[in-house]
Structure 1
Amino acid sequence: MASGAMKLSKYSIGTGDRFGHQAKAQLQACVQALDRGTEIAPVWNKSNREHTIIGSEPDSTRRAADEAVQALHWEKAYFCDADHITLQTVERYLAPCDFYTIDVADAIGKPAPAAAIEAFVKRHPELLGQIQLEGIEESFAITPEDLQQTGEKFLAAVKQAGEVYRKIEGAKGKGNFVPEVSMDETDRAQSPVELLIILAAIADEGIPIQTIAPKFSGRFNKGVDYVGNVGQFEREMALDIAAIAYAVRQYGLPENLKLSVHSGSDKFSIYPAIRANMQRFDAGVHLKTAGTTWLEELIGLAESGGDGLALAKEIYAEAFAHREELCAPYATVIDIDPAKLPSPQEVAGWSSEQYTSALRHVPNSAAYNSSFRQLLHVGFKVAAKLGRRYLDLLEANEAIIARNVTENLYDRHIVPVFLGK
């Protein structure tokens, strides 16, 4: 990485803010971590899909972040992420963003030209044979067939990432932004051998990535806990960290290159595993989509009672009525049991405590309802259609909502992952 280039710190946290009202509350969680001696760079992310649904523009995310930083006198690094960007959607993010999650999942498995694959295989004889990753007991054998097959599956995706990177570089200049390559939204986890080969291809393509988001085993559903084998996740993460360290030494990738875990938020059961690997390898991590801010807004509204609670109930009723339409875009990352969704009539009779207890993610609470939570998670479109009605109530109940947002991000995400106590 060039001297003076924009650099992502060792620890960073990606957090969404769909309606652009909670940046200060989110940043407050990072302030509290800094007060305890740990710097965590906040990265505000909002996808093109979310901007389209809400009708917002990327510069609104930048404006909210800048205002929060000024208000809280934050003097450390912070970023605004063009989330899951492609060549088709990157244009509107060129001015306001300085972090780009380049998403190439759609190109994985698409064939690259045979000549390009052949050239890649010839260029990397060092990848053949036994590879020993530092900190990992067993070695890994890479055959010519492995190299060929991995090239066939991933080379076109890496080439596409290069096109997007060069488009951004042409607009912003080399070293003036943080590039990430995302390969998490695909059918299966990449092996450490595949990741190593992918990183060699990324280096060939000249992309100075500072984070990479591979696919892990298990389900990473939106806003609820991890579903899968935690021990397997911990091992996969360890192998990925070791593969990254190997690639940095071998291919001259940026020294601060680290894993990006696209959590979908609230993967509490794997947080100790993430923490353990960070300590084992003295590794950084980018924990993305940490803190389900929009749900904390709903919790705050319900907690406030009166008009806030009434609107929270109304939003659920609308989400319930349009659940198929709302769930369709997120079908691969939600698991809602229709039988466990309370009727709008039942919810209409709930107290503040009943609503917040069903929605707040406390896994061992008998009142917590993951299906209720997931439907509301994807139901932000309902609030978006309410426009000023929703935003006015956010502003009227700012203090109680901000407390929920900060506590959620700090206590449930930052503490277990980055502070460990």
Structure 2
Amino acid sequence: MLPIEKYTFGVGDRFAHQAVAQLRAFQLLADEGVDVTPVWNKSNREHTFVGSQPQSVFDAAKSAVEQLGWDKSWHVDADHIQLTTVEPFLPCSDFFTIDVADSIGKPASPDDVAAFVDRHPELVGSLQIDGMSAPLEVTKEDVLRVAEQYLLAVNEAGAIYRHIVDTKGDDNTIAEISMDETDAPQTPPELLVILAAIADEGVPVQTIAPKFTGRFNKGVDYVGDLKQFAREFNDDVSVIAHAVKTYGLPKTLKLSVHSGSDKFSLYPIIRECLQRTGAGLHLKTAGTTWLEEIIGLAEAGGDGLKLTKEIYAYALEHVDEFCAPYASVIDIDHTKLPAADTVNQWTGQRMASAIRHIQSNEHFNPHMRQLLHVSFKVAAKHGSRYTDLLKSNAAIVGGEVTKNIFERHLRPLFVG
């Protein structure tokens, strides 16, 4: 396998124009003595919406690396791929987020389930795991239930992984398994059973993305019980360390937090755990950069502000259509979305203040921010009009992108 670095941070770039601005944020962090590896990610769904190809992500990242003289590691993530969508990503990706959410809950073969349970008697009982305040209490029925729910998904992950390495070779592949886009969170005992199954399947997984309790909505802060998240996150870190020792999984295996962008209330919890345990982390953002583009164009005024208002007005007219694919990761109160006529009267600063995620700002509107987060295809419809404005306003847009990643994400997560 290709070993993953201890700290990795996924950055999305919908239109492949901000790779340099994104990479500057990692340079600023490195100047403070903390190395975090950038991972450029874009899913098949996003490519479809925008009309781009996976190669464009690699090309933009490589150009940024060369332009800024970045001499540290970097990766390109084939985000949320399945067997039916992985092919175009194979030549240009080295990080593969294998999404098995659709198979979770589908029944595995009874013989396979029974064999798994018989093979792992060590999973049953009062399990003492280093770092946990209390033992995990797991019954044979618990193992059977989890195996029935997840074994088929793990088998699918194995099939996808083997297809990838048949083409790229295992020394050019980082494997992540994603289970976050499901209805129910995975508890720490369930995660342990799942990791045992992954080890049996022979997948050298290096990051795993469980679903945590609470809401991880796109582009806004976490909604949920912070104390419960802290327990889950810390227990998951302990379970992973235990599984690495018990099942021979890669020593680089670490938690991956999906839709991690803007989860500001969680960053102190995560940072404390990493500092205390020495664990690694992969945190993934996506549409945040696109929102910073909109903010920058609004502040630029003129044609940039005009287009920003047009994009919002169109998104408002198609709110149900745009929100449908993201229903599980957004919460928008339609009554709190300002009318297009109202927004048309705003200055660029007022528009930017409504979208920029500074919760103390009286004008910040999380509903408007979430709607624009999932409406990037509107900008794609404008084609060169949008991208030409990004180019002509590169300084102000890029400044917003760098500031957002460095000041609001990387520093709080890894410095404090």
TM-score, normalised with respect to structure 1: 0.98
* Deviation of the 1:323 alpha carbon: 1.2
Confirm or deny: 8 A CA contact 2:50 2:380 kept in the other structure.
yes
Deviations 1:357-408 (A, max 9, x none): 1010001211000111111111101000000000000000000001000000
Confirm or deny: 8 A CA contact 2:260 2:283 kept in the other structure.
no
Indicate the residue corresponding to 1:268 in structure 2: 264
Please give the alpha-carbon distance, in whole angstroms, between the structure 2 residues aligned to 1:209 and 1:374: 32
Confirm or deny: 8 A CA contact 1:46 1:61 kept in the other structure.
yes
1:119 to 90, 115, 118: 115
Secondary structure in 2 matching 1:137: coil
Please give the alpha-carbon distance, in whole angstroms, between the structure 1 residues aligned to 2:49 and 2:347: 30
2:321 to 319, 325, 339: 325
* Deviation of the 1:419 alpha carbon: 1.2
Confirm or deny: 8 A CA contact 1:316 1:376 kept in the other structure.
yes
Confirm or deny: 8 A CA contact 1:105 1:186 kept in the other structure.
yes
Confirm or deny: 8 A CA contact 2:2 2:170 kept in the other structure.
no
1:347 to 331, 343, 348: 343
Confirm or deny: 8 A CA contact 2:41 2:286 kept in the other structure.
no
Deviations 1:287-327 (A, max 9, x none): 11167000000000001111111111111111111111111
1:312 maps to amino acid: T
Deviations 1:59-107 (A, max 9, x none): 0000000001111111111000000111111111111100000001111
Please give the alpha-carbon distance, in whole angstroms, between the structure 1 residues aligned to 2:268 and 2:259: 14
Mapping of residues 188-199 of structure 1, within 5 Å: 188-199=184-195
Indicate the residue corresponding to 1:146 in structure 2: 142
Please give the alpha-carbon distance, in whole angstroms, between the structure 2 residues aligned to 1:377 and 1:215: 21
* Deviation of the 1:6 alpha carbon: 1.6
Please give the alpha-carbon distance, in whole angstroms, between the structure 1 residues aligned to 2:316 and 2:147: 45
* Deviation of the 1:263 alpha carbon: 2.6
Please give the alpha-carbon distance, in whole angstroms, between the structure 2 residues aligned to 1:277 and 1:144: 31
Indicate the residue corresponding to 1:404 in structure 2: 400
Please give the alpha-carbon distance, in whole angstroms, between the structure 2 residues aligned to 1:137 and 1:406: 39
Mapping of residues 99-178 of structure 1, within 5 Å: 99-178=95-174
**2:374 counterpart of 1:378:** yes
2:373 maps to amino acid: H
Mapping of residues 186-225 of structure 1, within 5 Å: 186-225=182-221
Please give the alpha-carbon distance, in whole angstroms, between the structure 2 residues aligned to 1:406 and 1:217: 30
Deviations 1:193-216 (A, max 9, x none): 110110000000000011000110
Deviations 1:234-291 (A, max 9, x none): 1100000000000000011110100001135111111111111111211110011167
Confirm or deny: 8 A CA contact 1:291 1:408 kept in the other structure.
no
* Deviation of the 1:127 alpha carbon: 1.4
Indicate the residue corresponding to 1:33 in structure 2: 29
Indicate the residue corresponding to 1:307 in structure 2: 303
Please give the alpha-carbon distance, in whole angstroms, between the structure 2 residues aligned to 1:122 and 1:136: 26
Indicate the residue corresponding to 1:286 in structure 2: 282
Confirm or deny: 8 A CA contact 1:42 1:79 kept in the other structure.
yes
Report the more deviating stretch, 41-50 or 315-324. Answer: 315-324
* Deviation of the 1:144 alpha carbon: 1.2
2:322 maps to amino acid: L
Mapping of residues 54-69 of structure 1, within 5 Å: 54-69=50-65
**2:148 counterpart of 1:184:** no
Please give the alpha-carbon distance, in whole angstroms, between the structure 2 residues aligned to 1:361 and 1:226: 13
* Deviation of the 1:328 alpha carbon: 1.1
2:365 maps to amino acid: N
2:84 to 84, 88, 103: 88
Confirm or deny: 8 A CA contact 1:101 1:181 kept in the other structure.
yes
1:147 maps to amino acid: V
Confirm or deny: 8 A CA contact 1:301 1:308 kept in the other structure.
yes
Confirm or deny: 8 A CA contact 1:291 1:409 kept in the other structure.
no
Calculate percent identity across the aligned residue pairs.
Answer: 58
Please give the alpha-carbon distance, in whole angstroms, between the structure 2 residues aligned to 1:233 and 1:190: 12
Confirm or deny: 8 A CA contact 1:290 1:413 kept in the other structure.
no
1:372 maps to amino acid: M
2:90 maps to amino acid: L
Please give the alpha-carbon distance, in whole angstroms, between the structure 2 residues aligned to 1:154 and 1:324: 32
* Deviation of the 1:19 alpha carbon: 0.2
Deviations 1:331-381 (A, max 9, x none): 111111111111111111100111001010001211000111111111101
Mapping of residues 33-52 of structure 1, within 5 Å: 33-52=29-48
CA RMSD of aligned residues (A): 0.9
* Deviation of the 1:158 alpha carbon: 0.3
Please give the alpha-carbon distance, in whole angstroms, between the structure 1 residues aligned to 2:122 and 2:374: 46
Secondary structure in 2 matching 1:43: strand
* Deviation of the 1:38 alpha carbon: 0.7
Indicate the residue corresponding to 2:411 in structure 1: 415
2:17 to 10, 17, 21: 21
Please give the alpha-carbon distance, in whole angstroms, between the structure 2 residues aligned to 1:320 and 1:33: 37
**2:352 counterpart of 1:359:** no
Deviations 1:16-36 (A, max 9, x none): 000000001001111111111
2:69 maps to amino acid: H
TM-score, normalised with respect to structure 2: 0.99
Confirm or deny: 8 A CA contact 2:212 2:229 kept in the other structure.
yes
Confirm or deny: 8 A CA contact 1:117 1:148 kept in the other structure.
yes
Please give the alpha-carbon distance, in whole angstroms, between the structure 2 residues aligned to 1:122 and 1:319: 53
